[in-house]
Amino acid sequence: MTQAELVVVANRLPVDRVVDGSGEHTWRRSPGGLVTALEPVMRRADGAWVGWPGQADIEVEPFEFEGTHLVPVALSAEEIELYYEGMSNDTFWPLYHDVIAAPRYRRVWWEAYVRVNRRFAEAAAAAAAPGATVWVQDYQLQLVPRMLREARPDLTIGYFHHIPFPAYGLYSQLPWRRQVLEGLLGADVIGFQRAADAGNFARAVRRQLRYTTKASGIAVPNPDGTTRNALAKAFPISIDTASYVELARRPEIRARAAEIREELGNPRKILLGVDRLDYTKGIRHRLKAFGELLSDGRLSVEDVTLVQVASPSRERVEAYVQLRDEIELMVGRVNGDFDTTGHTAIRYLHQAYPREEMVALFLAADVMLVTALRDGMNLVAKEYVAARGDNRGVLLLSEFAGASDELSSAVRINPHDIDGLKDAIVRAVTMPAAEQGRRMRAMRRKVIENDVAQWSKSFLAALAAAGTANRAIRIDA
């Protein structure tokens, strides 16, 4: 097998397996910020990417794709059900999102999670050159750093946690809390979206493992009696800003934005929500607030339309099936009460759209509603800001989304406070152009300066420094 100086380990490969026009299976690059961020780095380093190819029970040999060596990890249908749908998305996801939905703890899920994490770790160890850097991505693979450390102590290992890390009072529910902390501490750098997440992690380590923590460093004992330093720190992720800026300038996309307004009956203001259909996103709170504003007479269906894009998500998980039913019932009730023959209160779109259509929607929308109850970052907020080169539009942003730490000029809201959310929506709808411009310019500066390339660069620089320091400890020992 080709051995690489930089290995990325993620639940999914950066490609999708598709059937071409001749009926043959081929590979297409996946959309997504992580792929965009790491592509140039991987090419420079002749990197390898370890991940599941996206379909159950298929065995695929390692292959090259656009300058990156891809190492598929096969998963059975049962493993997808237990490790991914079960442990990852019915245990860790709700627990780490403040128990908005009740997490379920099942030993058979945990056992599958350990098995699959070990398979990913073994694939990464085989793909990594001597002294290489391995960067593990996200909550599906929290045990991989320690497994790699034990198999390949020569490696520099990083881990990035894309979702929130909960306060200790919640985290302590997890029956396997020590194993997960020990798994993550196999890394030289553990990155989080927010400083609060890094702090929650450090407190959990102190409470459970009794390790010494100072600033963002954690003293982790080595088997030989020495101690290495694991850096736990915030590295807020961002987007490929330049691609959104470029798309928003295209005449055909600007024309599509005007067409969208026309299709909606040319309302005075368009409100927009763009989310995966997930209980963490606060979609119900947003619909409730909008429905009450119509009922109160503070907004009228002739003047204001809400467009809600809710892309399908985890449709085999019961909590998501129930959520879809609730949201569609709410949409039906509001539209039944307030629609006219010429105007629709809520245009609900349960489907995914290509990036070009999303940018057209961003340009058409006067107000972007990000009402997450808990979100690691929420990149949609940054995408909306990047697209608004006209410095118009208003971003309503939940204080419980990581993006609120950076986009301080947004109108911040607490989605649990329905009256406060209603007032914020009215304020956004009536905001003068000068104030819109002032706020949007400040947010655009942040998003342009701190794009996804800067994120990967800063993480890998910290990882290189930490790896060098910890190697020196091993040499001295």
**d(Cα 201, Cα 192) in Å, to the nearest integer?**
9
Dihedral sign for Cα atoms in the order 167, 171, 172, 177: negative
Examine the pLDDT at 477 and tell me if it is beyond 60.
Answer: no
Distances (CA, A) of 88 to 91, 143, 171, 205, 463: 6, 12, 14, 21, 26
Residues 6 or more apart in contact with residue 87 via CB below 8 angstroms: 106, 109, 110, 112, 113
Examine the pLDDT at 26 and tell me if it is beyond 90.
Answer: no
Phi, psi (deg, nearest 5) at residue 297: 80, 10
Mean pLDDT for the stretch of residues 34-49: 80
Residue 1: band (very low, low, confident or very high) from pLDDT cuts 50, 70, 90: low
* Alpha helices per DSSP H over 365-451: 379-387, 418-429, 433-449
Mean model confidence pLDDT for the chain = 94
Q: Between β-strands 304-311 and 4-12, what pairing exists: parallel, antiparallel or unpaired?
A: unpaired
Residue 38 in tokens: 């790491």
Distances (CA, A) of 222 to 124, 150, 434: 21, 10, 58
CB of 26 closer than 8 Å to CB of 18:
yes
Residue 18: band (very low, low, confident or very high) from pLDDT cuts 50, 70, 90: confident
DSSP 84: I
Total-model pTM:
0.94
pLDDT of residue 472: 78
- Average the pLDDT over each of 150-164, 206-220, 407-421 and give the range with the smallest value: 206-220
Distances (CA, A) of 313 to 97, 275, 319, 323, 369: 16, 10, 11, 11, 19
Dihedral sign for Cα atoms in the order 191, 411, 385, 96: positive
**d(Cα 190, Cα 207) in Å, to the nearest integer?**
18
Mean pLDDT for the stretch of residues 270-286: 95
**d(Cα 137, Cα 427) in Å, to the nearest integer?**
39
Which tens digit of pLDDT belongs to each residue from 169-220?
A: 999 999 999 999 999 999 999 999 999 999 999 999 999 999 999 887 999 9
